[in-house]
Amino acid sequence: MFDSIAGKFTGIMRTLSGKGKISEKNVRDAVEEIKEALLDADVNLRVVRRFVNSTLDEALGEKVLSSVDPGQQFTKIVYDKMVELLGGTENTALRLKGKDATSIILLMGLQGSGKTTAAHKLAWKLKKEGRRVMLVAADLVRPAAITQLEVLGEKAGVPVFTIPGEKDPAKVAEQAISKARHDLIDTVIIDTSGRMHLDEALMEEIQRVAKVSRPDETLFVADAMTGQSAVDIAKEFEEKVGISGVILTKFDSDTRGGAALSLRSVVGKPIKFIGTGEKMEDLEVFHPERIATRILGMGDIVSLVEKAQEQYDQAEAERLQKKMAKNTFDLQDYLEQLEKMDKMGSADKLLEMIPGAKGNISEEDLHLEELEKEKAIIRSMTRFERSNYRIIGPSRRKRIARGSGTSVAEVNRLLKKFEKSRLMMKKVMTNSKYQAAFQKMMGM
Ligand SMILES: Nc1nc2c(ncn2[C@@H]2O[C@H](COP(=O)(O)OP(=O)(O)OP(=O)(O)O)[C@@H](O)[C@H]2O)c(=O)[nH]1
Ligand SMILES: [Mg+2]
């Protein structure tokens, strides 16, 4: 997706970059080209107009034309507008209850949009994050739908709730939820039926299922390949049922990207995930910045370095260095470092940006799952525990393991690893030779 639009944007940005001076006409021409590129990508007309007008307003302002590097300023404006269009910095995380309650996720959308696949992917992802998940087969329209979900559930290692012979999806949902509560399942994902077209029957059915299940997340599953019509349909679902977010599937397909670029702005609800393939692991959290970077054709090593530097600014580096030297680097600091890695982007994207890394280093090499667990473990600790890891005795370890959905052995492992690395840090930081290397690495 976005290949064509990215090509155009790269060209537009290139003509302006490096110019010592750009005129008002240069800006107007560039914005005109951007407009055409967006329209060619099948972006909603109103969205295009708004984008173009606000870009023009800002780009014609004093700041750009008289700046030292107007081309760069212009690129920055377009990038910022694009990020905003895609959702800005809003929080797209699923809003689920804690693990001591049962959260409900309801998936809905047209036929073939990817609901069942998304249910499967989501089940696997949440299970990996330590949640106890149950899938619910509430698509009673398509004959093979139940079997399809059962097969997928087995693949993901997640139970699938069905009532053979039942005709009413609302009843299935209701009973599934009470069974889930009884079985201490913390996350229920309901897969519903789709229809070729929007029709009353589908809406009425979904409304009833939503009413009995009272979902924490009502996710509209949209097929990116359907372009603008996905946007209209999403609007309809928002009005009739109410949606809390969107899963945009088939992001890996060769489409122009109009749906992706219009949905957020027209529907007013965040895109939470994108489906990037048919396999279980092909579900990614949607990051506006990353997509904007891709569209503007900036997905190269430069942006990786920039991002890295943004996150690890100098003051931060100095602060860390002091902490490490004084041996006061605590679990809270460690958690913050792990969270920063998240902000830099998914491992996959990271690997894509490092020349030669893709194919040679796998995500597994990066031990991501372990890091996810470590984050969960630290988040289950109190502030006091985070800065005084030595007080974490057996009963606290038990509580932390329970709270984070991990085992005591995993908590032990993290604490041991942390202790070891603190010792290492101290050694390194009090050795002047290493100190210089560290400063160089941090760009100091
Ligand atoms: N390439 C690609 N294919 C996908 C993606 N998501 C779903 N598919 C494929 O799209 C087809 C339809 O997916 P389903 O999950 O069955 O769609 P559904 O919405 O449940 O369909 P109905 O139950 O018939 O309404 C399947 O062949 C999936 O493999 C994706 O992100 N990328
Ligand atoms: Mg289905």
What structural domains and CATH numbers belong to the chain?
Answer: 3-85 (1.20.120.140), 103-288 (3.40.50.300), 301-441 (1.10.260.30)
How many CA atoms, within 13 angstroms, populate the side-chain half-sphere of residue 319? Answer: 9
Ligand 2 centre distance from Cα of residue 121 (Å): 13
Q: How far apart are CA 260 and CA 282, in angstroms?
A: 17
Helices (H) and strands (E) in the chain, counts: 21, 8
Ligand 2 (ion): residues with CB under 5 Å are 115-116
What is the spatial distance between Cα 311 and Cα 327, in angstroms, rounded to a whole number? Answer: 22
Q: Which long-range contacts (CB under 8 A, 24 or more apart) does 18-27 make?
A: 18/71, 19/70, 19/71, 21/70, 22/64, 22/65, 22/70, 22/71, 22/74, 23/65, 24/60, 24/65, 27/56, 27/59, 27/60, 27/64, 27/65, 27/74
Structure-token pair, residue 209: 């299922």
Which residue from 29, 107, 105 is spatially nearest to 74, judged by alpha carbons?
Answer: 29
pLDDT of residue 343: 60
Cβ–Cβ < 8 Å for 188, 122: no
Residue identifier of the C-alpha nearest atom 10 of ligand 1: 114
Among 233, 253, 278, 280, the mutation site with the greatest number of ligand 1 atoms within 8 A of its Cβ is 278
Check residue 300 and give its pLDDT.
45
Which residue is closest in CA terms to ligand 1's atom 12? 112
pLDDT tens per residue across span 105-158: 999 999 999 999 999 999 999 999 999 999 999 999 888 999 999 999 999 999
How many Å apart are CA 329 and CA 167, to the nearest integer? 59
Give the span between the Cα atoms of 233 and 220, in whole angstroms. 9
- Which atom, in ligand 1's list, is nearest to the CA of 191? 20
- Token pair belonging to 303: 């942006």
Give the ligand whose atoms come closest to the C-alpha of residue 195. Answer: 1
Per-residue pLDDT of the chain in tens (444 residues, 90 and over written 9): 888 888 888 888 878 776 767 888 989 999 999 999 999 988 999 999 999 999 999 888 766 666 666 777 788 888 889 989 999 888 888 999 988 999 999 999 999 999 999 999 999 999 999 999 999 999 998 889 999 999 999 999 999 999 999 999 999 999 999 999 999 999 999 999 998 877 888 899 999 999 999 999 999 999 999 888 888 899 999 999 999 999 999 998 888 888 888 999 999 999 999 999 999 999 999 988 888 888 887 654 344 445 445 555 556 667 777 777 777 888 888 888 777 766 655 566 555 555 455 565 565 666 677 888 999 999 999 999 999 999 999 999 999 999 999 999 999 999 998 888 787 777 766 666 666 665 665 554
| Gap from CA of 111 to ligand 1 centroid (Å) | 9
User: In 3-state terms, what secondary structure has residue 165?
Assistant: coil
Residue 115, phi then psi, degrees to nearest 5? -60, -50
Helices (H), 215-355: 228-240, 258-267, 288-295, 301-311, 314-326, 331-343, 347-353
Centre of ligand 1 from the C-alpha of residue 398, in Å:
41
135 C-alpha vs ligand 2 centroid, how far in Å?
A: 12
User: Kind and range of the H or E element at 137?
Assistant: strand 133-138
Ligand 1 centre and the CA of 153: distance in Å? 15
Distance CA 370, CA 269 (A): 32
Q: How many residues does the chain have?
A: 444
Ligand closest to the CA atom of residue 120 = 1
Nearest atom (ligand 1) to Cα of 139: 23
Radius of gyration, CA atoms only, the chain: 25
Cα–Cα distance between 417 and 12 in angstroms, integer? 49
* Residue 122 CB partners (closer than 8 Å, separation 6+): 105, 107, 189, 247, 273, 283
User: Using CA atoms, how far apart are residues 9 and 275, in angstroms rounded to an integer?
Assistant: 24
